Structure 1
Amino acid sequence: MALKILLLSDSHGFIDEKIINYCKEADEVWHAGDIGSVEVTDRIKEVSFLRAVYGNIDDKDIRSEFPLDNKFMAENVGVWITHIGGYPYRYNSRIKQSLSLRPPKLFISGHSHILKVQYDKKLKLLHMNPGAMGNHGFHKVKTMLRFEIDKTDIRKLEIIEMKR
């Protein structure tokens, strides 16, 4: 059976019942930073398993609970989540060397508030940025990504959009 993932980022302290309902449908929720308050992650943990990283706006409480980088295996897919990661061919200087030495199959970042899914042919990895699901920032539409991991396959990728 495939692992159902809900991927979000840049909540900036915002969570509502619509988002929680999507969390309830997921086996795991992954948050790519700028959480904004522990109430967001506490609420998610009530309904699903959570993996998260802290972002540049997150305080000491969030930073003490979540790492800067989260590297793990989901099924047979290597995953690396960080908040400020850049994009294929323009990765952040902090991670560029490590990423090229040992690329995961799935690299996830947030920060930009711009939803983007792009395959990196050089490193043979899939990059995902779910955009932003909070109310803070310049984005006009709140976005999240939903997908499944089945053994080594990343499939059924879906964009979830909500009005601000």
Structure 2
Amino acid sequence: MRIGLISDTHGQLRPEALAYLEGCDHLVHAGDIGKPEVLSALEALAPVTAIRGNVDTGDWAADLPEVREVTLAGVRLLVLHDLKQLSVDPAAEGVRVVVSGHSHKPLAEERGGVLYINPGSAGPRRFRLPVTAGELLVSGPVVTPRIVDLLEPAA
């Protein structure tokens, strides 16, 4: 299973992001969506699990939770916008992957049997940070993360 990861679009869904996420079985947006049209465009590609970030205000975002748990291909994911607001011990809760956003800094690291992944920001460039998205490739119990720079040609 291929799970596409995107965050911090801030209302801008780049064609490079859509092209990268095409063919995913499921998509996860880790908040700061910016506009409901972003979710509509993602939903045209695959089912979407999305949470509300700190810039997601207004009626369109009212029903989005701040934290969401989803199980995909037998893997439990916990999705929240700001990792600093994590209020549970993911390992103790049986969570395999924590997906977050907010910092705009891409990250994928394993700690205590839990994969923490932030796909970075796929929206407007912030400072000198890259414009990125990510994916989780799930094959049985193996979860392989990948983060790509959407504006750099593939090597």
TM-score (norm 2): 0.88
Moved >4 Å (runs of 4+): none
Q: Which structure 2 segments of 5+ residues have no match?
A: none
Paired with 2:137 and 2:105, the residues of 1 have a C-alpha distance of 21
The equivalent residue for 1:89 is none
Greater helix proportion: 1
Aligned AA (1:126): L
Paired with 2:125 and 2:39, the residues of 1 have a C-alpha distance of 17
Return the offset for 1:140: 3.2
* Alpha-carbon displacement from aligned partner over 1:34-77 (angstroms, at most 9, x marks no partner): 00000111111112211111100101334324211110111111
Question: How many equivalent pairs are there?
Answer: 152
The equivalent residue for 1:102 is 93
Q: 1:11 to 1:67 in 2, by over 3 A?
A: same
C-alpha contact 1:114 1:131 (8 A) present in aligned 2: yes
Greater strand proportion: 1
TM-score (norm 1): 0.83
* Alpha-carbon displacement from aligned partner over 1:129-162 (angstroms, at most 9, x marks no partner): 111010153243201112211232202x322102
The equivalent residue for 1:118 is 109
* Alpha-carbon displacement from aligned partner over 1:85-142 (angstroms, at most 9, x marks no partner): 23xxxxx3xx334546414110111000000111112xx2110011101015324320
C-alpha contact 1:132 1:139 (8 A) present in aligned 2: no
Paired with 1:131 and 1:62, the residues of 2 have a C-alpha distance of 23
Return the offset for 1:10: 0.3
Instruction: Output aligned runs, 1:1-164, within 5 Å.
Output: 3-86=1-84, 92=85, 95-97=86-88, 99=90, 101-121=92-112, 124-135=113-124, 137-155=126-144, 157-163=145-151
| RMSD, aligned CA | 1.9
